[in-house]
Structures are given as structure tokens and as C-alpha cells.
């Protein structure tokens, strides 16, 4: 579960439809407006629900620049932009590894609002109503074959240009949906929040994978 969110998951498959042979100008205008909204924030924190055919959970994420701290179902993933830490409460273990924000196999939460800008085709799908809000639905597909995800659908609020939910479909057809339930802009987010402090994890085994 946790890896599917870190990788957010990997935005697969070569383009198989002529619809994605070019970038949709209407979709691009909406995505650009959305991206500017997020870039204007110093930081933000969101509560979200995670759901697929086999499970569901609630999590929180705090983002600042290229740093993030994610908590979901007894696990934590956080990075200062250089090193990534993955903590499992059940296993009493924390893995440490180098962090590559632009790798082909991972799309991190700090990139959700800029991922479309390189290596992806996109098109406008439709306008939908959810909870009294009007949302623009846009579908993204990657241009590289070494991804594990077939498509991502973003639902963007027409009023404030913020992402409300997104559904990731992998190459096997499995769908995972993330829905934002609360969003707080410009929260206090000191750099220490995104670094590992061993004193806060007594009795936890540290596994250095670098």
C-alpha cells in the first residue's frame, strides 16, 4: 500500500491511442492553472482517503518544496529531497535509501502538480459534479514503456483549481483512488519534519540500503 503512494505511483505502457498523439490545449490550460496554485504555496498539508479493490485507509501528507512526509496505515515515508526514509511500525524497522525524485519508476507526492510537464500526454475527459462541486477530469498517459501505470485521471476543482481526487490504473487494470478530504495551505513545516531523528524511534532497526 505504502509503495503505491510513494510511487504515487509510476505514471507504463507506450502510447496506444492516437488521442494521446498530442497534448490537449484545453487540458494543458487547466493543468497549468492548477500547477500555479500549488507552486504559490510555501507548504501544505492534506488528509486523504486511499481505496482500491482490496483495502482502504486514511492518511496525511505534508509537502514543502521537494520534501514530503507521508503517514498511512501505520507506516511513514519522508524525504528531505536527498534521502528517503520508510518506517514500518509493525516491523519496527526503518529503511534508508537515496532519493531520486525524477526516476522513471516513482512519482512522489511533491510532484503531483507538475508531473504532466514532462514525459506525459494528456487530454480533457469531461466535467463532472461531485459533492456539489464542478470538477474538470483530465487523463494522463506516460510516454515511456518502463512505467508500471497505464493512466492517471485527475479531478480538478473548477473554482479553485485544486486537485480533489485522482485514480491510478496500472497495466493490469487495478485501480487505486486517492481523495482529498481536507487541505490546509501554508502550514508550519520546519526542515526537521522531513529528516530522520533516531531518538524518536527507540528500538527500531535502521536498514541502510544506500
Q: Which of 63, 26, 50 is nearest to 158 (CA)?
A: 26
pLDDT digits (tens, 9 = 90+) for 69-124: 999 888 999 999 899 999 999 999 999 999 876 544 444 556 667 778 877 889 99
Average pLDDT across the chain, whole number: 82
Q: Which of 72, 68, 34, 70 is nearest to 51 (CA)?
A: 72
Q: What does R_g of the chain's alpha carbons equal in angstroms?
A: 17
Measure the CA–CA gap between 85 and 150, rounded to whole angstroms. 27
pLDDT digits (tens, 9 = 90+) for 162-207: 999 988 888 888 898 989 999 999 999 999 999 999 999 999 999 9
pLDDT at 20: 37
pLDDT at 194: 95
| pLDDT band of 47, cuts 50, 70, 90 | very high
Is the pLDDT higher at 135 or at 143? 135
Q: Return the number of other C-beta atoms located less than 10 Å from residue 25's C-beta.
A: 9
Is the pLDDT higher at 149 or at 88? 88
Q: Return the number of other C-beta atoms located less than 10 Å from residue 44's C-beta.
A: 17
Is the pLDDT higher at 91 or at 8? 91
pLDDT at 168: 86
| pLDDT band of 4, cuts 50, 70, 90 | very low
pLDDT at 125 over 90: yes
Q: Which helix (H) or strand (E) holds 28?
A: helix 25-39
pLDDT at 136 over 80: yes
Mean pLDDT, residues 22-35 taken together:
88
Percent of the chain with pLDDT over 70: 84
pLDDT at 10: 30
Amino acid at each position: 500500500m505504502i509503495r503505491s503512494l510513494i510511487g504515487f505511483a509510476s505514471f507504463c505502457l507506450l502510447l496506444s491511442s492516437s488521442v494521446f498523439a498530442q497534448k490537449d490545449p484545453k487540458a494543458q490550460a487547466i493543468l497549468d492553472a492548477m500547477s500555479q496554485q500549488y507552486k504559490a504555496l510555501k507548504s501544505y498539508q492534506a488528509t486523504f482517503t486511499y481505496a482500491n479493490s482490496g483495502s482502504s485507509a486514511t492518511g496525511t501528507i505534508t509537502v514543502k518544496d521537494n520534501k514530503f512526509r507521508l503517514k498511512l496505515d501505520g507506516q511513514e515515508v519522508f524525504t528531505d529531497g536527498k534521502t528517503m526514509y520508510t518506517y514500518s511500525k509493525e516491523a519496527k524497522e526503518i529503511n534508508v535509501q537515496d532519493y531520486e525524485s525524477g526516476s522513471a519508476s516513482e512519482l512522489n507526492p511533491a510532484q503531483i502538480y507538475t508531473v504532466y510537464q514532462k514525459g506525459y500526454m494528456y487530454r480533457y475527459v469531461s466535467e463532472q459534479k461531485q459533492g456539489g462541486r464542478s470538477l474538470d477530469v483530465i487523463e494522463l498517459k506516460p510516454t515511456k514503456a518502463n512505467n508500471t501505470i497505464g493512466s492517471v485521471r485527475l479531478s480538478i476543482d473548477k473554482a479553485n483549481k485544486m486537485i480533489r481526487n485522482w485514480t491510478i490504473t496500472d497495466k493490469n487494470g487495478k485501480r487505486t483512488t486517492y481523495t482529498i478530504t481536507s487541505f490546509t495551505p501554508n502550514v508550519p513545516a520546519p526542515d526537521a519534519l522531513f529528516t530522520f531523528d533516531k531518538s524518536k524511534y527507540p528500538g527500531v532497526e535502521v536498514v541502510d540500503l544506500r
